[in-house]
């Protein structure tokens, strides 16, 4: 179930991400289209300004032509003919030629203005259509984005997100557990190998100790025999001195005693060496016992860890697929966690090695002090016993000295072997120290790497914060661009209205130009009247511009009134819908009543009487008590307002647990009231 939910959540998140990407791409295209629309609007505005400049230039040309005509008419009237009082034919021809040229130029200008106006009008209509389509697309995209925001803010999405966070945390926790178990497993294996090596060395020392112990016992027995013989010889020597009193025998005995004392010193030194080896063997045996106990503890810990691993294997296998899918997103966090886990393991290894080294040093110091004390005591005792034994038996010891020398050589060989073992132990200690130093260096390197990774994590957090701020800025710019687009759309509508007014003005000016040309062709006397008409047309044009401004204001006010009327229409529509629904409901009720009336009228008298009797029976059964179905309802329970007969309620009041027979509500004596039906 958890895997299926995780898969479904992942699919939903992927779909949401894909939709978000599509919407962002569409928004980018809309923004680019909006920028192109803005450039197109600016270009159309420039074209309109050019058209206005051309119209103004044509108006100025017309004014100049009229002024030239007025000046020519004045000169013609003031200059009389010198011959017969009439105009010269050359001047009339020139005048007609100028008028034809003016007429042709005005026709050409009029055609050019018509072509330009038609071209600009078509471009403006195309731009308006494109702007409308883009605004519709933008509204659709905004609606879709609002739907996505609603999805993101929904309760189901938040629950799904919380569940995903919870499973991510669980996955990280199990991952840390598996890492720690793997580290502990490797540590236990390494410690097991070390313990096995120490056990092997302890077995070898124990074997040597087993061989050395009987030799030590034999030497002690021989030493005791020699001491006894020495004592006997001393007693005999004293008796001989007392008996004979010969000096030469004394000197010989003294020489023999000195030789025996030297040999006894050598034997004592050998015995001390064997005792030292015996103590070392005992210490190694104790160390082997402690190592065995430690091995047993580690094996128990390993069994416990194996049990835990077996218990958690099912969970790890179930979450393994999820870990593999999410491992790409969590690589950096895994590196940091592995580093922290390795750091903890290194700290544990270093502490254990230091503790074992300290224990070994304390054991060595204790063994050294014990050996020193024991060797001093043995030397004193051996010296006293050797002096007594030398005087008793000097001759018997010579044969045994050779055997002791052979045994001494064997013991020296054993001592050399033990020295080599001690040297190997020293080398192992040096190897442990070098390993500790390497571990410390690796720990320092890991700390520096950890600091570097922490710095990278902080930089990544800063980068994420920057990305969030940039996304907020882009959203603000998007909103600003949308508002600017709406303002440009309004401005485009105003430009369209101004273009229509310009078309009207151009048509009026064309009519006025035609009228002026007709009047100029008729006669020179009408030129002044044309000038007056032109002035009046100019005033009319100014009034038309004022009218245009007033019409713009009226259009804006009419738009506001239209919005208000639209709101009223919507309200009236809602009222109309409610009235229609009410009318439908009344019609349905009327149909039901008509059906009932038809049924009643269609039935026969006997059937109607039978149906009425059945209804009366039903009403009587309703009035009877629902518990006994015999007596009428007489009392009511105030808490639940259920009606029953008085005997049934009194019988229920006698019970300790009083509950309503209909709904099971607890009630008391005060909650029962009599009613009349």
Same domain, residue pair 128 and 252: no
Same domain, residue pair 37 and 182: no
Note the pLDDT tens digit of each residue in 397-411.
Answer: 566 655 656 665 665
The top-scoring range by mean pLDDT among 136-145, 337-346, 478-487, 612-621 is: 612-621
- Asked whether the predicted pLDDT for residue 573 surpasses 70, the reply is yes
Same domain, residue pair 135 and 181: no
Q: What is the mean pLDDT of residues 612-633?
A: 83
Same domain, residue pair 95 and 194: no
Owning domain of residue 26: 2-80+88-153+495-524
Say if 549 falls within a structural domain: no
Note the pLDDT tens digit of each residue in 293-302.
Answer: 665 665 666 5
Contacts of 72 (CB under 8 A, 6+ apart): 95
- Asked whether the predicted pLDDT for residue 317 surpasses 50, the reply is yes
Q: Are strands 643-644 and 672-674 parallel, antiparallel or unpaired?
A: unpaired
pTM of this structure: 0.19
Note the pLDDT tens digit of each residue in 34-88.
Answer: 677 777 777 767 777 777 777 777 777 777 776 776 666 555 444 444 334 444 4
**pLDDT given at position 218:** 74
Same domain, residue pair 225 and 360: yes
Same domain, residue pair 68 and 125: yes
Strand arrangement, sheet containing 672-674:
643-644, 635-637, 672-674
Domain count, the chain: 3
- The CATH number of whichever domain residue 656 belongs to comes to 3.30.40.10
Say if 293 falls within a structural domain: yes
Higher-scoring residue by pLDDT: 624, 164: 624
Which residue's structure tokens are 């592995």?
Answer: 338
- Asked whether the predicted pLDDT for residue 344 surpasses 50, the reply is no
Q: What is the mean pLDDT of residues 229-255?
A: 63
Greatest pairwise CA separation for the chain in angstroms: 215
User: What tokens does 361 get?
Assistant: 């040093």
**pLDDT given at position 70:** 66
**pLDDT given at position 141:** 65
Query: Helices 395-522 and 155-243, interaxial angle, to 10°?
Result: 160
Say if 62 falls within a structural domain: yes
Same domain, residue pair 196 and 335: yes
Domain finish residue from 410, 439, 473 = 473
Closest CA to 185 of 311, 351, 306, 60: 306
Beta strands in 562-661 (DSSP E): 635-637, 643-644
The top-scoring range by mean pLDDT among 67-76, 102-111, 568-577 is: 568-577
State the distance between the two ends of the chain, measured CA to CA, in whole angstroms: 60
Same domain, residue pair 209 and 254: yes
Residue 85: how many other CB atoms lie within 10 Å: 7
Say if 564 falls within a structural domain: no
Say if 450 falls within a structural domain: yes
List, in sequence order, every residue forming a beta bridge with 659; answer none if it has no partner: 666
Alpha-carbon distance of 289 to 286, in angstroms, equals 5
CA–CA distances in Å: residue 107 to residues 1, 178, 514: 87, 96, 9
CA atoms lying within 13 Å on the CB side of residue 575: 6
Same domain, residue pair 444 and 501: no
Q: What is the mean pLDDT of residues 587-591?
A: 79
- Asked whether the predicted pLDDT for residue 452 surpasses 50, the reply is yes
Burial class (CB in 10 A: 0-12, 13-18, 19+), 481: middle
Question: What's the mean per-residue pLDDT of the chain?
Answer: 68
Closest CA to 675 of 645, 651, 653: 645
Same domain, residue pair 116 and 26: yes
Say if 193 falls within a structural domain: yes
Same domain, residue pair 364 and 433: yes
Higher-scoring residue by pLDDT: 332, 651: 651
Burial class (CB in 10 A: 0-12, 13-18, 19+), 265: middle
Same domain, residue pair 460 and 507: no
């Amino acid at each position: 179930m958890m895997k299926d939910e995780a898969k479904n959540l992942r699919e939903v998140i992927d779909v949401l991400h894909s939709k978000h990407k599509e919407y962002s791409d569409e928004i980018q295209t809309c923004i680019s289209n909006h920028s192109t629309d803005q450039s197109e609007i600016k270009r159309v505005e420039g074209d309109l300004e050019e058209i206005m400049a051309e119209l103004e230039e044509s108006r100025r040309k017309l004014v100049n032509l009229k002024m030239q005509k007025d000046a020519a008419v004045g000169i013609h009237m003031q200059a009389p003919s010198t011959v017969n009082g009439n105009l010269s034919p050359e001047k009339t021809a020139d005048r007609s030629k100028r008028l034809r040229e003016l007429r042709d130029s005005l026709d050409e200008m009029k055609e050019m203005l018509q072509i330009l106006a038609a071209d600009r009008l078509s471009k403006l209509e195309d731009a308006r259509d494109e702007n409308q389509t883009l605004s519709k697309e933008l509204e659709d995209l905004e609606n879709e984005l609002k739907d996505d925001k609603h999805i993101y803010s929904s309760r189901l999405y938040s629950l799904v997100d919380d569940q995903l966070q919870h499973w991510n945390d669980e996955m990280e926790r199990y991952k840390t557990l598996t890492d720690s178990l793997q580290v502990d497993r490797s540590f236990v294996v390494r410690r097991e190998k070390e313990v096995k090596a120490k056990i092997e060395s302890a077995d070898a020392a124990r074997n040597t100790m087993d061989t050395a112990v009987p030799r030590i016992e034999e030497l002690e027995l021989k030493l005791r025999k020699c001491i006894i013989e020495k004592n006997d010889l001393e007693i005999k020597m004293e008796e001989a001195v007392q008996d004979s009193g010969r000096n030469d025998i004394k000197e010989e005995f003294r020489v023999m005693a000195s030789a025996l004392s030297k040999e006894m010193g050598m034997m004592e030194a050998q015995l001390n060496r064997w005792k030292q080896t015996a103590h070392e063997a005992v210490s190694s045996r104790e160390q082997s016992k402690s190592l065995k106990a430690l091995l047993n503890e580690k094996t128990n810990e390993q069994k416990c860890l194996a049990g835990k691993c077996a218990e958690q294997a099912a969970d790890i296998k179930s979450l393994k697929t999820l870990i593999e899918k999410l491992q790409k997103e969590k690589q950096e966090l895994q590196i940091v966690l592995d580093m922290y886990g390795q750091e903890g393991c290194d700290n544990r290894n270093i502490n254990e090695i230091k503790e074992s080294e300290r224990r070994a040093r304390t054991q060595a110091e204790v063994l050294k002090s014990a050996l020193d004390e024991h060797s001093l005591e043995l030397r004193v005792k051996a010296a006293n016993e050797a002096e007594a034994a030398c005087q008793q038996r000097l001759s018997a010891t010579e044969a045994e000295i050779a055997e002791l020398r052979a045994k001494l050589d064997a013991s020296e060989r054993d001592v050399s072997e033990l020295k080599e073992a001690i040297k190997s132990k020293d080398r192992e200690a040096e190897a442990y120290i070098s390993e500790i130093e390497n571990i410390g260096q690796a720990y320092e390197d890991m700390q520096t790497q950890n600091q570097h990774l922490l710095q990278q994590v902080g930089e990544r957090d800063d980068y994420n914060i920057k990305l969030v701020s940039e996304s907020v800025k882009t959203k603000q710019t998007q909103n600003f661009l949308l508002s600017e687009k709406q303002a440009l759309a309004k401005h485009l509508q105003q430009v369209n209205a101004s273009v229509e007014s310009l078309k009207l003005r151009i048509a009026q000016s064309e009519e006025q130009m035609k009228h002026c040309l007709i009047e100029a062709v008729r006669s020179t006397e009408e030129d002044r009247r044309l000038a007056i008409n032109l002035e009046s047309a100019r005033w009319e044009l100014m009034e038309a511009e004022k009218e245009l401004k007033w019409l713009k204001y009226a259009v804006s006010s009419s738009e506001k009134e239209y919005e208000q009327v639209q709101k009223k229409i919507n309200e009236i529509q809602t009222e109309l819908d409610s009235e229609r629904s009410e009318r439908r409901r009344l019609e349905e009720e009327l149909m039901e009543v008509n059906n009932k009336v038809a049924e009643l009228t269609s039935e026969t008298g006997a059937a109607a009487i039978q149906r009425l009797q059945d209804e009366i029976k039903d009403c009587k059964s309703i009035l009877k008590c629902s518990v006994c179905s015999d007596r009428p309802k007489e009392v009511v329970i105030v808490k639940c307002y259920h009606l029953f007969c008085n005997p049934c309620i009194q019988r229920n009041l006698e019970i300790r647990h009083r509950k309503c027979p209909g709904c099971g509500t607890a009630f008391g004596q005060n909650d029962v009231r009599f009613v009349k039906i």
